[in-house]
Amino acid sequence: MEDVGAEPGSILTELGGFEVKESKFRREMEKLRNQQSRDLTLEVDRDRDLLIQQTMRQLNNHFGRRCATTPMAVHRVKVTFKDEPGEGSGVARSFYTAIAQAFLSNEKLPNLDCIQNANKGTHTSLMQRLRNRGERDREREREREMRRNSSGLRTGSRRDRDRDFRRQLSIDTRPFRPASEGNPSDDPDPLPAHRQALGERLYPRVQAMQPAFASKITGMLLELSPAQLLLLLASEDSLRARVDEAMELIIAHGRENGADSILDLGLLDSSDKVQENRKRHGSSRSVVDMELDDTDDGDDNAPLFYQPGKRGFYTPRPGKNTEARLNCFRNIGRILGLCLLQNELCPITLNRHVIKVLLGRKVNWHDFAFFDPVMYESLRQLILASQSTDADAVFAAMDLAFAIDLCKEEGGGQVELISNGVNIPVTPQNVYEYVRKYAEHRMLVVAEQPLHAMRKGLLDVLPKNSLEDLTAEDFRLLVNGCGEVNVQMLISFTSFNDESGENAEKLLQFKRWFWSIVEKMSMTERQDLVYFWTSSPSLPASEEGFQPMPSITIRPPDDQHLPTANTCISRLYVPLYSSKQILKQKLLLAIKTKNFGFV
C-alpha cells in the first residue's frame, strides 16, 4: 500500500497536502543518504569573510572531484569550527545558520578570485580576471552606445524631452494634498487621477522619512516621469535618495530667503536629520550623482542578495555576473540541497519566484505580488485604468513607454522591455504585455544567470525527480521551517527528563515557570532560545523535521550556573532554580551568551 500514489505527478500526492509530500520526500532523502558511502567534511572559521572563502573552496574541491557522478549526494555532513569543540549534527546546524547569515549579509563579498578552480593555480585566476575586465569594458561601451543612440532617437520627441526635463526635482512645485486631508477635487487645479493615485501611494512612505515636509516632497516627486515614479515605488533606497535630494533643495531655498525663514520652517534641524539619515543608510550622494556615477573598482563584490519587497525575503543580486560570483550562487544551491538531503533547516529565505525557478516550475504574473507587493498593486491599478471609459486620455497623460529604470541592485540604468521600447508608448491595448514584460524582466531576466547557477547547484546534490511533487510553499517549509516560533507547537514537541531528585509538585511548578517565561518572550528572544537549543533559529514545520525531538533535562537545584545545551541532540540542561525570576534571568543571559556545549 505504500506504493499507492508514488508515481510521479500522482493526483493522490497533490491531494494529500504538505504532510503526505513531506513524508514521501523525507523517505526519499533517507534512501538517497543511505546509498552514499562518502561524507562531506568542512573545516571553517567563524569570521564572515573566511567562512565564505573556506566554504566555497571546500565545496568546489568536493564537487569538482566527483563531477562524473550526478547527483553528488553525501551520507553525512561533518563541520568543525576553528578553536571550537565538536563536529556533531548541532555543529552542522550552526554552520548552516552562520553561512546563511554570511551570504545574506548586506556587506561586500571577500576576494573570491582564487577560490574557484583553486587546483588550477593562480594563472587561471589571472586569466579569468583579465577576461572579466575585458567583458566589463565591452559591456560598458555597449551601454554608452545604446544611450547615445537612444538619445539621438528621442531628439525630436516632445514626450521624451518632457520626460528628461522632469528628471530634475523642482522647488516650485505645489505640495501634494492627500485624500485624508480633504477632497483633492476641491482644489482649483486638481491633479489628474493617475497622479493623485501615485501620490496616495508615495505620501505615507515619504511621511515616514520626513513627516514635516511630506506634502511638499511628495508634490516634488510627482513631477518626475511615470517610469521614475514606478522605480521609487519599487526601491526603498531610490526613494530615500530622492527624498534626501528634495530636502537639500528645500534647505537651500530656505537659506537663500534668509536665516529667519530657515528658523521659521525648522529647516536647520531638518538639514541635520538629512545628514544623520544618510550616515545611517550609508549614502552621501544624491540620486542624480548615483545615476551618473559609471565608475567601479573592477571587482564584482556587491552583496549577493537584496530584499525587493517584504523584509526578510531575498532575491539574487546579479552584480557583474562574473564566474566567481556565479560560483557563489551555485554553492548556495548546493547548500540548500545538502540541507534538504540531511533533513536540516537553512535560514536562506528566498522570494517565491526564486524557489519556483529552483523547482523548475513556471513563474507567473501573480508571483510578482510576493516579489514587490507595492509595485504589483501599482501595475494592477494600471490594468484597471485600461478598462475605464477615458482610458486613452489617462494613458496619454501617464506617458509610459516600454522602457523601465532599474534600481542599482538590479543593475541600474534604463532598459527596453521590447525592441525600440523607449519609443513605443503604453496604451490600454498593450498594457497587458507591458505588465507581463515588466514583471518578467525584474523577476527573471535581471537575475537569469544567478538563478540558473543556484538551480545547477541544487541539482548537483539532489536528483531532479525528487523535487517534482514540491510546490514553492512545500520547499519553504522543508528548508526554512516555521520562522515564527509557536510556543504551543514547541510544548507539544518537548519532553522533560528529571535529574534533580525533587518531588513531582516542584517539577510541575518549574515546567509552568519555564513555559510562562517563553510565552512572554519577544519573537526574537524565542528564536534566540531555539537557536541556543538546536543551533537553528526556526522550528521545523512538523515533528518529522526534528532529529531528535527537543528535550529539557532538569538538573539539581543551583542558583549560580547558567543553563547549557547539547545542540546535537536538541537538549537543554536547566538547573532547578529557586524562583521564576532567577530562571528568567539565567535563561535570557544564557541565550545571549550562547553558552552551548557541542558534542
Catalytic residues: 568
DSSP string, 406-461: PPGGGT-SEEESSTTGGGSB--TTTHHHHHHHHHHIIIIITTHHHHHHHHHHHHHH
Separation CA 321–CA 11 (nearest Å): 40
Chain centroid offset of residue 271 CA: 32
Residue written as cell 510544548? 491
Strand duo 571-575 + 564-566: pairing: antiparallel
Instruction: Count the neighbouring beta carbons within 10 Å of the beta carbon of residue 583.
Output: 21
- Asked if residue 557 has a cis previous peptide bond (ω within 30° of 0), the answer is no
The span from the CA of 500 to the CA of 497, in Å, is: 9
**Amino acid letter, 451:** L
Long-range contacts formed by 475-479: CB under 8 A, 24+ apart? 475/355, 475/358, 475/359, 476/349, 476/350, 476/355, 477/18, 477/22, 477/541, 478/22, 478/25, 478/340, 478/541, 478/545, 479/336, 479/339, 479/340, 479/345, 479/346, 479/348
Q: Of 88, 79, 75, 73, nearest to 58 (Cα)?
A: 79
**Long-range contacts formed by 143-147: CB under 8 A, 24+ apart:** 143/413
Helix axes 122-153, 323-342, angle to 10 degrees: 110
| Kind of pairing between the strands at 571-575 and 551-555 | parallel
